[in-house]
Every structure is written in C-alpha cells, then in structure tokens.
A = this chain, B = another copy of it.
Amino acid sequence: MSDVALVAVASILGAAVCIAIGSIGPALGEGRAASQALNAIAQQPDEANTITRTLFVSLAMIESTAIYCFVVSMILIFANPFWDRVLATAGG
C-alpha cells in the first residue's frame, strides 16, 4: 500500500464521515426549532413576523455548524494540503 493510496483513502473516508455525522445534529436542531416556530405561530398568529424572523436567524446559526462540516469536507477533497504534499513527494 503506497503512501499516495493511504492518504487518498483517509481523505475519502474523512470527507464522507465528516459531513455524514455532521448533518445529524443540525438537522435535528433545525427540526426542533422549526417545529416550535410553527407551534408558536399557531398560538400567536399576530406575532408571525417576529417569530419567523427569529426562526430564520436561529436556523442560520444552527446551519453554520453544518457549514463548518461541509467546508472541512470540501477542503479534504479539493484543497487537501497533505494530498498535495504527498503527490509532490511521489512525483519528485
């Protein structure tokens, strides 16, 4: 098993696991927040604007943790410094 293959395997599995596990928490958290927002609108239709605005800010905040995972996943696939270095060594 050459070094190039080893780093490639680690990058592939790392990227896949990173976004897969990283999507569980945000999806559940957003589901909870959205679910409560719908409940709040049903209770106080007059406050729908305030509720919707607070919901979207919160969703953006929660989504940010999923974005972190997506960013790391993309970095590992397309801008991986370890891969670049190992390729340079192998091609040297």
Question: Which residues of A are at the interface with B, using a C-beta cutoff of 8 A?
Answer: 1-48, 50-52, 54-59, 61-66, 68-70, 72-73, 75-78, 80-83, 85-87, 89-90
Contacts and interface: CB of A to CB of B under 8 A. Distances in A.
A41 B30 contact: no
A89 B4 contact: yes
Contact of A34 (B39, B43, B58, B82): B58
Q: Which 6 A-B pairs give the minimum distances between C-beta atoms?
A: A29-B31, A25-B27, A34-B58, A14-B16, A40-B42, A24-B25
Contacts of A14: 12-13, 15-17
A52 B20 CA distance: 29
A12 B76 contact: yes
A31 B62 contact: yes
A30 B30 CA distance: 9
Contacts of A9: 6-7, 10
